[in-house]
A and B are shown apart, each in its own frame.
Chain A
Amino acid sequence: DAKTTQPTSMDCAEGRAANLPCNHSTISGNEYVYWYRQIHSQGPQYIIHGLKNNETNEMASLIITEDRKSSTLILPHATLRDTAVYYCIVRAMGYKLSFGAGTTVTVRA
């Protein structure tokens, strides 16, 4: 799997958009960008994934640069319940997930 780089932590204000960056400069053509999050004391939760096009679902939007070397996860209206560790994963199709350190996001009222 390609290596990813994420900021260690970030704060955002409740009700505002949270933009979470991820660098993956060694991504291969067949590798997807996945985002999961893990709220304290819970199991990881899938958020979104994409290959090269921007994607949106009910939870978030994923913006992937044209060269695919970086991406941004956007939580459009952050709530206190979005406080969690967010993991950016770059991998080809397959079932073995592995997470790095991720970004600890704290949403403040």
Chain B
Amino acid sequence: GAGVSQSPSNKVTEKGKDVELRCDPISGHTALYWYRQSLGQGLEFLIYFQGNSAPDKSGLPSDRFSAERTGGSVSTLTIQRTQQEDSAVYLCASSFRDRGYNEQFFGPGTRLTVL
């Protein structure tokens, strides 16, 4: 079956512009996660959606970052007034909520470059 898909695969933008990154999770997965991975850095948690529960936004680095998940499926991560330090690979993952061990399936990522 289809895995997690993300679009665009690459995005180059100018400092100060807004960007939207899209994630299509695996069908039937109730949990959705956003992470980012900067060059040479590890994985950084951003936000977690689970069904109709309030999302865990504790990892969002600033109020310029926001995310929504419509209809319990597709999610969009929005970064407003982008800064150069926002340059990173943004990864989306999804999982079955009731998996005890929390195996997360990742998409290929969106590489964001802020000039």
Query: In the assembly, what is the distance between CA of A95 and CA of B95, in Å?
Result: 10
Do residues B44 and A45 form an inter-chain contact, with CB atoms below 8 A? no
Q: Name the residue among B48, B56, B106 with the largest chain A CB count within 10 angstroms.
A: B106
**B115 in the interface (beta carbon within 8 A):** no
Contacts of A45 in B (CB 8 A): 106
Interface residues on B, range: 20 to 34
**B35 in the interface (beta carbon within 8 A):** yes
Residue of B with least CB distance to A44: B106
Contacts of B93 in A (CB 8 A): 43-44, 97
State which residues 58-84 of B face A: CB under 8 Å. 59
**A46 with B105, Cβ < 8 A, contacts A95-B31, A95-B48, A96-B48 known:** yes
Contacts of B33 in A (CB 8 A): 95, 97
- Please give the number of chain A residues whose Cβ is less than 8 angstroms from any Cβ of chain B in the complex: 18
Instruction: Give the interface segment out of A22-30, A70-78, A98-106.
Output: A98-106
**B12 in the interface (beta carbon within 8 A):** no
**B26 in the interface (beta carbon within 8 A):** no
Do residues B43 and A43 form an inter-chain contact, with CB atoms below 8 A? no
**B104 in the interface (beta carbon within 8 A):** yes
Do residues A93 and B108 form an inter-chain contact, with CB atoms below 8 A? no
Nearest Cβ on chain A to B112's Cβ, whole angstroms: 14
**B109 in the interface (beta carbon within 8 A):** yes
